[in-house]
Amino acid sequence: MKATKGAVDRHVDRTAEDIVDVSHRIHAMPELAWQEVRSSVLLCDELERAGLDVERSAWGLETAFVATIGSGDLRLALCAEYDALPGMGHACGHNIIAASAVGSAAALAPLVDELGITLQVIGTPAEEGKGGKIELLSRGAFDGLHGALMIHPGPADAAECVTSAVSHLTIAYDGRAAHSAGFPELGVNAADAFVIAQASIGLLRQHLPQGVMVHGIVNRGGEAPNAVPARTEGSWYVRSRTLQDLAENEPRVLRCFEAGAIATGSTLSVGYDSPPYAEFHNSEVLLAAYRNNMIAAPAGPAGGPGMARSSTDMGNVSAVIPSIHPYIGIGSGPVVNHQPEFAAHAVTSQADAALLGACKALGRTVIEVASDPNARVALKREAERLASPVH
């Protein structure tokens, strides 16, 4: 079979119902981070059906996987995400990310030998705040790759990925319980500690540099209204434009939480759900090829950088491997990611059409890079530079 962009388009058109079915089935069974058992099985089954050699529960992680085809010297990976959001299902559209990885891989599978590539699909669990790709990096999942590609749904198209670095904090205060009416003087109020902390953060925001954001929730506020809360817990994010900026500003936020402990006499505990997510670095070679091959989405023409204040663990991958993370518009506007209405929109006819366009765009991008000797060399040089200890 001739390795052309038209061959990818025809394969996607021929298998469109199957690709959309994968998206809809994952959407119908939302699973949270590290719990994506059924989604992982479904994707592995589909990739095996497409002719890829699949390793399930890869790198010692139950819901991770890697599917491989080809043996060429240019090693490229398509990343699949498939975890959902607590309480909102697939309100970030990871069903589309997963299906686009499968659909583009299936279209490329008959062409890998002619293209001289080794193609992988890496199943990456736990993107939503748990840092699945960071764990995979530490276990060697991305070793030896020259490029990593994925595509993310959003309200509009954007080829370039611009994201923030983020730290995922788990905050807890321990006080002392007492009857709120009978013996309040004996209690140490761990709920009041959060009141002080949040007030302090509100005052701090005026003095934070542009691009630094703080937001969070209290997910345990006490046990009963007539008992002084002895234990409270919350989850908080601190975002900044870069990891360096994050390291400079996160301590200022932590002092606000310390203020809550000091004011109430409670004890503060700080933990982390994952290592920090890095800002995204776009591969010049892959981004240029994607721009040449992106498919217009139902939302209309491409806009600027998509979701520039959001964060992704793909940023950590991009720091060490040439990567792209474009956005494909699903025509949802004014509805945006992480709204329940976005989850509903992720299985509309507009979203399905965008999914098929995403499969074609990813497949075309791989073909363009693999078929151009200069691009192959340039991408390998990018990979060598990022892999070096100092770059």
Q: Which residues contact 203 (CB under 8 A, 6 or more apart)?
A: none
Measured CA angle at 325 (ends 343, 58), to 5 deg: 85
Task: Output the pLDDT for position 383.
Answer: 97
Q: How many CA atoms lie within 13 A of 4 on its CB side?
A: 5
Task: Output the pLDDT for position 391.
Answer: 59
Q: What are phi and psi of 378, to 5 degrees?
A: -65, -40
Task: Output the pLDDT for position 1.
Answer: 60
Length of the chain: 391
Joined together, the tokens standing for residue 125 give 């669990």
pLDDT tens, the chain, 391 aa long: 677 899 999 999 999 999 999 999 999 999 999 999 999 999 999 999 999 999 999 999 999 999 999 999 999 999 999 999 999 999 999 999 999 999 999 999 999 999 999 999 999 999 999 999 999 999 999 999 999 999 999 999 999 999 999 999 999 999 999 999 999 999 999 999 999 999 999 999 999 999 999 999 999 999 999 999 999 999 999 999 999 999 999 999 999 999 999 999 999 999 999 999 999 999 999 999 999 998 755 444 444 455 667 999 999 999 999 999 999 999 998 999 999 999 999 999 999 999 999 999 999 999 999 999 999 999 999 999 998 866 5
Q: Which residues contact 205 (CB under 8 A, 6 or more apart)?
A: 214
**Cβ(289)–Cβ(106) under 8 Å?**
no
Task: Output the pLDDT for position 296.
Answer: 59
- What does the buried/exposed string (b/e) look like for 189-209 if buried means 16 or more CB atoms within 10 Å of the residue's CB? bbbbbbebbbebbeebeeebe
pTM: 0.94
Domains and CATH numbers, the chain: 5-162+278-387 (3.40.630.10), 165-272 (3.30.70.360)
Closest by Cα among 160, 168, 210 to 313: 168
Task: Output the pLDDT for position 301.
Answer: 44
SS3 label, residue 348: coil
- H helices of the chain, in order, are 5-14, 16-28, 37-49, 94-108, 112-115, 132-138, 190-204, 243-264, 284-293, 314-318, 340-345, 349-371, 373-387
CA distance 147 to 381: 11
DSSP 150-193: --EEESS-BSSB---EEEEEEEEEE-B--BTTTSGGG-B-HHHH
